[in-house]
Each structure stands twice: as structure tokens, then as C-alpha cells.
Structure 1
Amino acid sequence: MSTHDGLMGVSAPSAPRIWPHAGWAWFAVAALMVAYTSSFIDRQILTLLVQPIRADLTISDTQFSLLAGIAFSLFYTVMGVPLARLADRGSRRWIIFWGIVVWSVMTVACGLANSFWALFAARIGVGIGEAALSPAAYSMISDYFPPRQRARALAVYSMAPYIGAGLALMIGGAVIDAIAQAGALQLPFVGELAPWQQTFVLVGAPGLLIAALFIIVREPPRHGVTKSGVQAGVLKYMWSRKSTFYMLIFAFSIFGMAGISYLAWAPAVLIRQHEMTPADVGFSYGLVLLLAATPGVLVGGWMTDWFANRGRTDAPLRVAILALIASIPFAVAMPLMPSRDLAIAALAGFSFFAGVMNSLPATALQSVAPNQLRAQITAIYFLIGNLISLGLGPTIVAAISDQWLGGDQSIGLSLAIVSGATVAIAALLLTRALKSFRDSVEEAREWQEPAR
């Protein structure tokens, strides 16, 4: 405040917010998307190596499931919250830098492991490293772009899981086969590496180059900082606005049950009901993820910004509700289709609308979260979402099939029932959240800095 302002008793208006240059902003989004794609490949590659790992380490299916499941997912979800707290208080790009270094080094360590427990420990390290990425990334992107351009930027970042999964399914097997044909490799100081170990080293090492990108990426200035209610902590802040935050989190998590169930059981449907080989399923599903789900993510971001630029403060929820309703016929029909081609076509339809949904939770939560709580709220969403979607979705499908529908050949009908029901419930919950979400957006406008 100047002396003149003080004498007049008038506060100086806050300076208009000047957003980072678009070139730097999109460079950061591209770097984050590459990192996210790499992380997804690093976490998923294990599932393609089940047979050689079991043979070399003489482990059971149960032990392998621990490597693929709890060793990664437990530490990925739990460590996300304290790492997000650091991201809300410090340099997000350096947290991401060290996260990439950790998960890349630990992926390489997976390739050097020669026992179950060594591989288990390395998988824990991968989970901890990857937990540093997305909460900090969403917060950074929200400070790079004004609200009415933010959904598209978040959508570009959110394409990464589909790109990573699609590439892993389509070309992962071929790369692994090529390494296997080359045989074991002798390295100085390390000794002999089996083909599955070489695969881990091959996918982990480039992560160190990706980490170097974040020496160039700039930390954007923070905006949307408020003192109203945040001192009590993230949980109390969210609880005081539970009709917005927890309704959104539970709605998106319940939809996640359908998405995860499809990833887990759609391949089994194609194999059991249409006699496709695992290799054919991998290629077909990978192609669907790349050509249907990935464009869907961009469409979701574009539609959200389109609605927002026309004054719809509830834009991300409106787009989500439309996508959910549109996805129901495909979700129900795919497992019941009489032919392979129709089943894959329905799978593509569901995957497209699942892609539309993919970036909307982050877009919605970031638009109503104070800057100093953004990463933590994202991490809490991941924690609850993973517990619900991963913990319940595939298991409920299997339980209904086994207990009430007659077993293996009924998995498709069970998938149709569970996915149709969960998608409908998610749409209903989001519809009920519209008013409270609009109120929260209006509240957020009070502490958002003016922008230009």
C-alpha cells in the first residue's frame, strides 16, 4: 500500500495475474506426460514377465500377486499423502525430479534382484517414487494455466496412462520376446542378467534422462492461495465442505470400479467367450486404449473448457455426467456381444467415454482446492479411489460370477451387471453434487487472484 493509499484509507488493488508463457507451460505439460507414461510402463511391465520371474525365483502365484499388488500399490497410495504435503509447501519440480530418479533406479534394481524379497523391496521403491508425481503435477499444471484453459492441459497429462498401457500391451510382449531370444547377458560387476532382468533395466534406465527434463522445467508461481480455513489442515478443510469434496471423490471412485473391472476382466471375457489368444487380446486392447481412450481424454478436456468459457461453473461435472450416461450402453453390451468384432467395438465405445472421464476428477478438484492444499487433496482422492476401485471392483465381479452366476463362463454377465450399476450410481452422485460444487467454485473465486 502506498502512502497516498494509506492516507485515503483505500487498499491498492491486487496486481493482475500474469500467467507463465504458453511455451514454457506446454513444455512442462509435455515433460510431465512423458514422465507419467514412463511411470505407467515401469509399474506395468512386471505383469508381462510373470512366467520367467516365477521360474527363476521359484515363487508361487500368491507371491507374484504380492509383487504386482501390495508391494507397489500400498506404498504408492499411502506415501502419496506425505509427499503431496511436501509438494504443497515446497518446490514441486524438485519433488517430481527426485521421484523419477527413485522409481527409475528402483526399476533397474528390480532387474538386479535375485530373490523374492529383493524384488519385493525394489517394487516398494518403485511405488514410493511414483507417488511423488501426480499430486505435484496436477498442482503445477493448475498454476501454469488459467482456469478456463486448465482442463485441456490436465487432459494432455492424463493421456499418459492409456498411452503407457497401450504401448505395454501392444509392443511390450514383442520387446520381451526379442530380449529373450538374445539370451542372458554378462555385465561387469553385476554378473549374468536373465532376459526378464534385462527388461527391467531397459525400461528403468531412460527414466534418468526424463528426470533431467525437470532441471529445465520452471516452477510456476503459486496463485489461489488463501488463509480461510486452511490452517486446520486438509482433512478438516475437506470435511467442512464434504458435500463437494467427498461426494466428488466417492462418485469418481465408484466409476473407477467399472474402469478397473474392465481392465481386469475384459481380457478374460474375450478369451473365454470369443476364444482369442492372450497375444491377440493384448494387441487388440492396446489398440483400443491408444485409438479410443486416448482421444477421449482430449475430448473431455476440450468439452470442459468449452462449457467453462460459456459460463458453466460446473463444467467438469456436466461433462462427466454426460460421459457416464453415454458409456452405460457400451459397458453393459460389451461382455454380452455374440461376436469378437462386436465385443471389441463395444469395448472401444466404453474406453472412449472412460477416457473422457479420466482427467475430470483432477479438473474438478483443482478448481475448488486452495493452492496450499491442492496436492494433498489429489493424494487423498488417489488413496480413497484406489481403495474403492482396486479393492472392490474386480473382486465384486468375480464374487458375483462365482457365487450367483455359475462360475468362469459367467464372468461377462457379472462384468455387465457391476459396470452398468456402478456407472449409473456415479452419474447419480455427480448430479446431486452439482449445486454444492457450484457453491464451492464461487467460494474459490473469492481467493483466486485476478488473471489475464
Structure 2
Amino acid sequence: MQPSTSTPSSPRIPLGAWYGLTTLILASICGNSVLQVMALLTEPLKQELSLSDTEIGALRGLGATLVVALASYPIGWLADRVDRRRIFAVCIFIWCVATAASGLARNYEMLFVFAMGISVGEAVLGPVTYSLIPDLFPPARRMLANSIFFVSQLLGYAVGLALGGLLIGAVERSHAALPEALASLSTWRIVFILVALPGIVLIPMMLAIPLREAAREGAPGGTAPTAVRDGLLEYCRANARTLLSMFAGFGAIGAANFTVFGWIAVVIVRLFNVTPAEVGVTLGQVFAVGSVLGVTAANLLAKRIARRDVDAAPVRVAQWGALAALGFSLLYLFATTPTQFYVIATLQIAASFGGLALSPTVNQGIAPARVRARLMALGGMFYVGFGALSPLVVGIVSDALGPDPRNLLTAMMLVAVPAFVGGALLLRFGEGTLRQTMETVRADDAVFTAPAG
């Protein structure tokens, strides 16, 4: 099969699409703000409810990450059958109620239940967001939209942290002047209640998002094309090589990133006796600069390659990014100053996250519209699962090697290097059937969105 050589057209993007993307970004920032606020309020929350570090860890681990992984597929399943805007709005409502209720929790058990409610609401951010973007933007402009959202997520963590800190400070300064019902509550409880309020505004904003004509015609309830009508399982079996290679490949690259950036701050502190606060501020700046540069460069390179091969362009750039990140990561072994670590980290972030920013575009291209949310959820489960395990493996290896500070760096490389290599090889393997899968999806979507009669 010959590679596609046509250059994608660049249709004008209506204002409604940008409005929808802006709403999705705001929802992402609000969701990240809750997670950052929970981290900032750990100590006062721990003291008032007499919690142990184990309970705090379970609250932020089992009560958050694991629930997101488990809830994303059921939400994706529902989003393939009901208007995705309504699913998103309902999840925002659940998130708002659970967040505000966390501020009224009387014990750990109540707090854990509410944390799971927050996570169920936030589970929508992955499968539904990336399945909704194709309903807003035509194929030729999805890579741009996905990249903007991807960067906004990366920067959203910093924004959420800053907004959370400002809100906590404002509540502490004006605590005595608050209405009696609020003034009687602890600062952390008030903050949880206040941080839930923006979600109320997001609900009508989400419902007002206009969809493209093709997306409306292909809404749940239409006539399904053959490949989709046969069911998700049959589709996955027929395209197993493509799906597993793309999902596991991007998941492995993501795991390598989790490995490095889950431990790099600890490595710098241990090797150079730098304060955690200084490392945190500097790495935050490094993360912002590296991610923006990387995503911009990856998009420009992908557009250039797309002139010769539209379908494979994002995957090819992601492969090159993983291999470049691998090379940059090995330089950590020779770094002798914190500045050298920061420079290397900037280059590695640019290479690895630039490629990862293209993963939603690839996954959307191999997912028929009728099962898109579920397939995006499955891909996200690879990412979350690999990412949750990799930092743990580094800790186990480091403990086995001994207490020398450089052993942690060695353990980090022993996990990250195979992950980068494996991710690139999996993506390369999946290229063999990628075009066939994408052509099948385009044919299915054309039938699905065709007017009846």
C-alpha cells in the first residue's frame, strides 16, 4: 500500500470550535486546581482529621489515580451512546458536588468517598475531551487543537498550583470577615467549597458548545457502519496490531517521562544538596519552556512530513522524539552541576512531550466515531497504568542498589531507557497496519455521517 501523498487542506475554523476548545481547557484547569489544592492542604487536613501518611497516600493514590483509570472506560462507553457534551456536563456536576462535600467531611472515610467522587468526575477529561475535539475540528486541524489542549494541560498544573495558593492565602487573610456559616469552618474546608464554584459556570458553557455538522449527523442514534455495527471487540480484533502498538507505544513513552520526572527533583536534591523549594521552582520553569518548545517543533515537523505521508507523520515524529529523549536522558549520567541537569531536562521534555502531544491525533485517527470515547479510554488506561508503575519500579531498584545518591540516577535510567526504546519500536511496528486502519475508520465515518436516504 502506497503512503498517502496528499497534503491536508486547512479549512477555516469557526469561532464555535475555538469556544468549545476554550471551554475544555477551562474545565481541565479547574480539575487540575482541585488536585493541586488537595496537595497544598495536605498538612492542615492531616492534622484536623488525624490522618497518617499512609492514609494520605491512599487518598491521593487509590482515591484519585486508580479511580480515574477504572471510571474512564465506563464513562467512555456512555459517551459513545449519549451526547458527549451532556456527559461532560454531568461529570462536572458530580465533580462540583464531591469537591464541595470534601470540605464538609467529618472523617477519613467520608473524605475518601468524596475523593472518589471527584475522580469519577475528572475521569471525563481523558476519553470524552479527546473524543469531543474531533466533533469540533475537521481532521486537517485536529493536530493543532490537540496540541493546544495538551500544552494547556501541562501548563494547567502550574496554573492550578498558583491559583490554589492564591485562594488559600486570600481565605486566610479574610477568614474573620466571612459570613458566620463559613467563618466557623477551617481554612481548608472553605477552600474546597470555593474551588468547586467555577464548575457551576462551566456546566451551561459545556452544553452550549456547537458541534460540526458532520458530528451532529453522526451523533449517537444514527445508522452505524459495518465495522462499528459489528461491535467494539470485533473492531479491536481486526485492528489489534495497530491499536496495541499505538496504545502501548505511547504508554511506554509516557512511562519513561513519569520515571524521569517522578524522580529527577529527588536526584538533584540528593546529589547537590539543593533545597526542594529551589528545585521545584526551577523545574517548573524548565517544564513550561521545554513543553511549549517541544510541542511547537513537533507540530511544525509533522506538518512538513505530512506533505509526503499524512497518516504516518505524527507517529514518525513521536518515534524520533522518543529516541531523542533517550539520548538526552543518558546525558544525566555525565552531568556534574544542577544547571546541567536543568538544561538536559529542558531538551528531554521538548523531545518526549513534543512527540506525546501528537498521540491524541493518532488515537483519534484509529478510532471510529461511534466507539471513539471507549478507545480513547483504553489508550488512556495504558498510559495511566504504565505511568503508575514506573516510578515504583525505580524505587525498588534504587533500594536494591544501595544508598549511594547516584544509584537512584542509575535506577532511573534502567527503567527509562527500555521504556523509550520500547515505545519507539512499538510505534514503528504499528506503522505497518496504521494506514489500513485509518482508511477503515475514514470509510466507516463517511458512511456513519452520511445523510439518511
| TM class, shorter-length | 0.7 to 0.9
Tell me the TM-score normalized by structure 1. Answer: 0.88
State how 1:68-217 maps to structure 2 within 5 Å. 68-169=60-161, 172-173=164-165, 176=168, 179-180=171-172, 187-189=179-181, 192-217=184-209
Q: Given that residues 184 and 195 in structure 1 are in contact (C-alpha distance below 8 angstroms), is that contact kept between their aligned partners in structure 2? A: no
Structure 2 partner of 1:398: 395
Q: Do the aligned partners of residues 271 and 169 (structure 1) sit closer, same or farther apart at CA in structure 2, a change above 3 Å counting? A: farther
Which among 44, 55, 58 is matched to residue 63 of structure 1? 55
Other structure's SS at 2:226 match = coil
**What is the distance in 1 between the residues matched to 2:137 and 2:307?**
14
Q: CA deviation at 1:132?
A: 2.0
Q: How far apart are 1:31 and its partner, in Å? A: 1.3
In the other structure, the counterpart of 1:11 is: none
Would you say 1:436 and 2:429 are equivalent positions?
A: no
Matched, 1:364 2:362: yes
- Number of residue-to-residue matches in the alignment: 434
Q: Which amino acid aligns with 2:356?
A: N
Q: Could you tell me whether the CA contact under 8 Å between 1:148 and 1:308 is conserved in 2? A: no
Cα deviation, 1:33-55, whole Å, max 9, x if unaligned, reads 12112212222332222222221
Evaluate the alpha carbon distance shift between residue 32 and residue 243 of structure 1 in structure 2; reply closer, same or farther with a 3 A threshold: same
1:312/1:215 CA distance change after superposition, 3 Å: closer
User: How far apart are the structure 1 equivalents of 2:330 and 2:401?
Assistant: 18
Of residues 173-182 and 152-161 in structure 1, the stretch that sits farther from structure 2 once superposed is 173-182
How far residue 384 of structure 1 moved from its aligned partner, in angstroms, is 2.6
From the superposition, tell whether residues 99 and 295 of structure 1 become closer, same or farther in structure 2 (CA, over 3 Å): farther
**Unpaired segments of 5 or more residues in structure 2?**
1-9
Preserved CA contact (<8 Å) 1:169 1:282: no
Q: Higher mean Cα deviation, 124-133 or 269-278?
A: 269-278
Query: Quick one: structure 1 residues 227 and 360, their matched pair in 2 at CA, closer, same or farther if it must change by over 3 Å?
Result: same
Matching of residue 412 in structure 1 with residue 409 in structure 2: yes
1:238 partner amino acid: C
- Which residue identity does 2:438 align to in structure 1? V
Kindly state the Cα deviation for residue 226 of structure 1 after the two structures are TM-superposed.
5.1
1:319 aligns with 2:317: yes
- Distance 1:200-1:277 versus aligned 2 partners, 3 A rule: farther
Please say which of residues 238-247 and 400-409 is displaced more in the overlay: 400-409
CA distance 1:430–1:168, shift in 2 (3 Å): same
Cα drift, residue 171 of structure 1:
6.4
Q: Distance in 2 between matches of 1:93 and 1:381?
A: 21
- Give the TM-score, by structure 2 length: 0.87
* Alpha-carbon offset, residue 179 of structure 1: 4.6
Stretch deviating more after TM superposition (254-263 or 61-70): 254-263
Name the CA shift for 1:174/1:216 in 2 (closer, same or farther; >3 Å).
closer
How far the C-alpha of 1:164 sits from its partner, in A, is: 1.7
How far is the alpha carbon of 1:178 from its aligned partner? Answer: 5.8
Report deviation, 1:367. Answer: 0.6
Which amino acid in structure 2 is aligned with residue 272 of structure 1? Answer: R
Q: 1:336 touches 1:412 (CA, 8 Å); kept in 2?
A: no
- Report the Cα offset of residue 376 of structure 1: 0.5
CA deviation after TM superposition for structure 1 residue 329, in Å: 2.2
- Give the residue type in structure 1 aligned to 2:147: A
Residue 434 of structure 1 aligns with an amino acid whose one-letter code is E
1:3 is matched with none
Match of 1:274 among 272, 275, 295: 272
Give the partner amino acid of 1:71. Answer: G
Aligned residues with identical type, % of pairs: 26
Q: Residue 253 in 1 paired to residue 245 in 2?
A: no
For 1:366-417, what per-residue CA distance to the aligned partner results, in whole angstroms no more than 9, with x for missing partners? 1121110101000111123212221x21011111111125465521221123
Q: Which amino acid aligns with 2:18?
A: W
* Matched letter for residue 428 of structure 1: L
Q: Does the 8 Å CA contact 1:99/1:133 hold for their aligned counterparts? A: no
Taking the aligned partners of 1:104 and 1:349, their CA distance within structure 2 comes to: 38
User: Measured at CA, do residues 120 and 173 of structure 1 come closer, stay the same or move farther in structure 2, by a change above 3 Å?
Assistant: same
2:298 is aligned, of 277, 282, 300, to 300
Report the secondary structure of 2:379's partner residue: helix
Measure how far apart 1:275 and its partner are: 2.0
In 2, the alpha carbon distance for the partners of 1:345 and 1:72 equals 32
Q: How far off its partner does 1:89 sit?
A: 1.6
Give me the CA root mean square deviation: 2.7
Paired position in structure 2 for 1:350 = 348
Name the CA distance, whole Å, in 2 between partners of 1:95 and 1:19: 28
Q: What is the alpha-carbon distance in structure 2 between the residues aligned to residue 106 and residue 145 of structure 1?
A: 32
How many Å separate the matches in 2 of 1:177 and 1:163?
A: 21
Q: Structure 1 residues 207 and 299 mapped into 2: Cα distance closer, same or farther (>3 Å)?
A: farther
Q: Aligned equivalents of 1:116 and 1:136: distance in 2?
A: 30
Query: Which residue, 6, 16, 31 being the options, matches 2:23?
Result: 31
Match in the other structure for 2:5? none
Partners of 1:321 and 1:430 within 8 A in 2: yes
For the 8 Å contact 2:227–2:444, the answer to whether it is kept is no
Gaps of 5+ in 1: 1-17
Give distance in 1, aligned partners of 2:193 and 2:64: 18
Q: Give the letter aligned to residue 275 of structure 1.
A: N
